[in-house]
Amino acid sequence: MITRRAAFSGLLALPLVPSVLGERLIPWETRLIMAAREQIGITLSYDPAYVSLDFPNGDVPRARGVCTDVLVRAYRDAFGFDLQSAVHKDMAAAFSAYPKIWGLTRPDRNIDHRRVPNLETYFRRHGTRLAVPGDLADWQAGDIYTMRLNGRLPHVGIVSDKVTPMGHRYVIHNIGAGTAEDDILGMFDEEQRFRFEPPAA
C-alpha cells in the first residue's frame, strides 16, 4: 500500500524528472520544426563569410547565418545532434564521396557542414533521399528541402507543419533576410527531398 508520505514524496520528485522524457513523446519531426521556427526573429540576416569556428558545436552569432545554419541549429537545439561533427567525421572517413566543387584536398570543419551539397551527400549516406512528390501537398513535415536558386545556387530548408491556403506546406529557411517561413515549394530548379531522423531522436 502506498502511504500518504510516499505519495507526497513522489509528487515532490516530479519536477526533477528530466524534461527530455516529455520531449521524446513529441514526434521528432515536430521537435525539428519547432527548433527551426524558434530562429525566426533571432536570425535576421544572411552572411556567407568564412569563419573559424569552435569544434564541436561551433557557430556564428545567431543574429546571422546562411541557409544551412537553420538546419544545423535546429538539429542541435532539438536533439543535441551536431551536424558539424557528423559531417566532418563522415568526410574524414569517405572524402572521395563528397563533392569536389571547392578544390579542397581534405575536410574543413569550419565550413563543410555549412555547404548544401555536402549536407545533401551526408543525408543520402545517412538518411533517406526521397522522390520529389508530383503533388506539392505530398511533401511531409520534417522533410529537408533543397534546390538550386537561378539554376546554380544551392539552398536548403525544413518543410514546415503549417499549410498554405493552397494546401501545401511552407518551408523554414534563410534565403537572404534571416530565418523565415515561406511558400516556396515547387518554385525552383533541381528540388530534392531528404529525411534525416537523428540517432536516439
* pLDDT tens, position by position, 100-115: 999 999 999 999 999 9
Residue 70 lies in a domain: yes
Predicted confidence (pLDDT) per residue in 44-57, tens digit: 999 999 999 999 99
CATH, residue 49 = 3.90.1720.10
Residue 6 has pLDDT above 80, yes or no: no
Residue 18 lies in a domain: no
3-state SS class at 7: helix
Residue 174 placed within a domain: yes
Whether residue 185 lies inside any domain: the answer is: yes
For the entire predicted model, the pTM comes to 0.88
Positive or negative, the CA dihedral 140, 142, 146, 147 is positive
- Does the residue 7 lie in any domain? no
Position 82 confidence tier, pLDDT thresholds 50, 70, 90: very high
Confidence band (pLDDT; 50, 70, 90) for 200? confident
Tell whether the model's pLDDT for residue 201 goes beyond 80: no
191, three cell numbers: 528540388
- pLDDT at residue 14 greater than cutoff 90: no
**Of the candidate ranges 10-19, 30-39, 107-116, 167-176, the one whose mean pLDDT is the lowest:** 10-19
- Residue at 19 is within a domain: no
User: Angle formed by the axes of helices 67-79 and 116-126, to 10°?
Assistant: 40
Whether the pLDDT of residue 16 is over 50: the answer is no
Q: d(Cα 44, Cα 91) in Å, to the nearest integer? A: 30
Residue 11 domain flag: no
Domain interval for residue 72:
26-195
Three-state DSSP class for residue 128: strand
Residue 96 CA neighbour count, 13 Å, CB half: 0
Determine how β-strand 64-65 pairs with β-strand 45-46. parallel
Measured CA to CA, the distance from residue 127 to residue 105 in angstroms comes to 25
For residue 19, pLDDT over 60 is answered with no
Q: How many domains does the chain have?
A: 1
Asked if residue 12 is part of any domain, the answer here is no
* Dist. CA 201–CA 196, nearest whole Å: 10
